[in-house]
Amino acid sequence: MRGEKAQSCEFPKIRFTERENLQPGRVVLACGLAVCLSACSPLHSGTSPGGLRRALTFHASFDHGPEADYAFGDHSLFTARAKDSRAAAQRGLGGTNVAMLAMGEGRFGNALRFPRKQAALVFYQAAENFSYNTTNWAGTVSFWLSVDPAVDLELGFCDPIQITAHAWNDAAFFVEFEKRRTIPFRLGVYADFKVWNPENRKWDEIPAMNRPLVTVEEPPFGRGKWTHVVFTFERFNTGKADGLAKLYLDGVLAGALPPRTQTFTWDDRQTSIMLGLGYVGLFDELSLFNRALSAEEVKTLYGLERGVTGLLRPQ
């Protein structure tokens, strides 16, 4: 099993031009000011696109390159030769071919393609982009995957996304495929290791109900189709056994973790949003929000005709 597997009001860093007209990959300053003002508001209006836009802290469409279209923190996508060499990572996709832009193959526009399983990885910095909070923390992660698990993936585990400052089982979020006789899809939400596994038990000794995983045995992935993946979390870092996490697939609730103590101790400057760990397939529209979206909002997000990019460039 897995045990064997190796709100601030500062101006969000939106790319823009000095001209009044939009150009590819850019957002005008006027739009940036509007988003900044709305992003600083604690209010949101139900399932409206405006409510989603106000909660957005990061968005990478890959339509104009690997950099994020919108970010409260660093826009850059970084490439490292291995997970343990992130400190020496270079900006951009680099020469490792760990990932490449797939022109016109995305759910909306371009996508990021992971051509094969390898040790190198790409990642964004989490600082400011993921809105970490030491008290009563909440958020949402959204993206699209196009993969045929039975054909494209290699045996074992792969994580299309993993977010942590430590290891996969220590204050970490991830989604994973496990390719075996069947190919389940899981959301992993691991609090600090000493919180979720205080007795340091071996994986096989932990009852399934105590493992911090949401498992979908027959997930809706397949060749030539896109699947929308969203996970939300709330009431983390409260010190109480009230933390909740939910997994949605194609706008529908697929599973949830029951309430438990969810303490995540991070230095968010050392936290990475890692993409494509062992994954082979397409990845598109990575978006992060500073609160747990409601079920209705997740359904709205799934149905956006132009994706999250349309929230930033309203017509």
Q: Are residues 172 and 69 in the same domain?
A: yes
Hey, what are 63's tokens?
A: 């339509």
Long-range CB contact pairs, 24-28, < 8 A, 24+ = 24/63, 24/64, 25/63, 25/64, 25/65, 25/69, 26/64, 27/69, 27/70, 27/312, 27/313
215 and 231 fall within a common domain: yes
Residue 29 pLDDT = 31
Q: Which residues of the chain have pLDDT under 70?
A: 1-47, 95-96, 314-315
Strand order through the sheet with 156-164: 90-91, 77-80, 121-125, 272-277, 156-164, 172-179, 185-190, 213-216
Q: What is the pLDDT of residues 148-172, one digit of tens each?
A: 999 999 999 999 999 999 999 999 9
Whether residues 34 and 71 fall in one domain: no
* Secondary structure of 21-73 in HEC code, one letter for each residue: CCCCCCCCHHHHHHHHHHHCCCCCCCCCHHHHHHHEEEEECCCCCCCCCEECC
Structural domain contains residue 181: yes
Per the CB < 8 A criterion, the answer to whether 256 and 248 are in contact is no
DSSP 313: S
* Residue 310: inside a domain: no
Q: Domain check: are 150 and 32 in the same one?
A: no
| Residue 293 belongs to domain spanning | 41-303
> Are 103 and 149 in a shared domain?
yes
Nearest to 249 by CA among 308, 184, 299: 299
* 24 plus 145 within the same structural domain: no
Number of domains in the chain: 2
Tell me whether residue 313 is in a domain.
no
Per-residue confidence (pLDDT) for residue 95, from 0 to 100: 63
Q: What is the DSSP letter of 11?
A: P
pTM: 0.85
* Residue of 184, 301, 209, 192 lying closest to 252 (CA atoms): 301
Distance CA 88, CA 120 (A): 12
Q: Which two tokens stand for residue 185?
A: 């899809």
Inside any domain, residue 125 = yes
Cα dihedral 81, 84, 87, 92 sign: positive
Same domain assignment for residues 268 and 153: yes
- Same domain, yes or no, for 54 and 183? yes
CATH number, position 291: 2.60.120.200
Whole-number Å distance between alpha carbons of 116 and 176? 16
227 domain-assigned: yes
Question: Which pLDDT score is estimated for 123?
Answer: 96
In a domain, 57, yes or no: yes
Same domain, residue pair 77 and 34: no
Q: Domain for residue 2, yes or no?
A: no
Query: Is the CB of residue 135 less than 8 Å from the CB of residue 168?
Result: no
Q: What angle do CA 256, 48, 314 make, to 5 degrees?
A: 120
Q: Are residues 32 and 143 both part of a single domain?
A: no
User: Identity (one letter) of the amino acid at 240?
Assistant: K
Two tokens at 157? 């585990």
pLDDT of 315 reads: 53
Q: Give the residue among 216, 165, 204, 168 at the shortest CA–CA distance from 189.
A: 168
The pLDDT of residue 176 = 97
Residue 309: inside a domain: no
Q: Are residues 34 and 159 in the same domain?
A: no
Residues 84 and 122 in one domain: yes
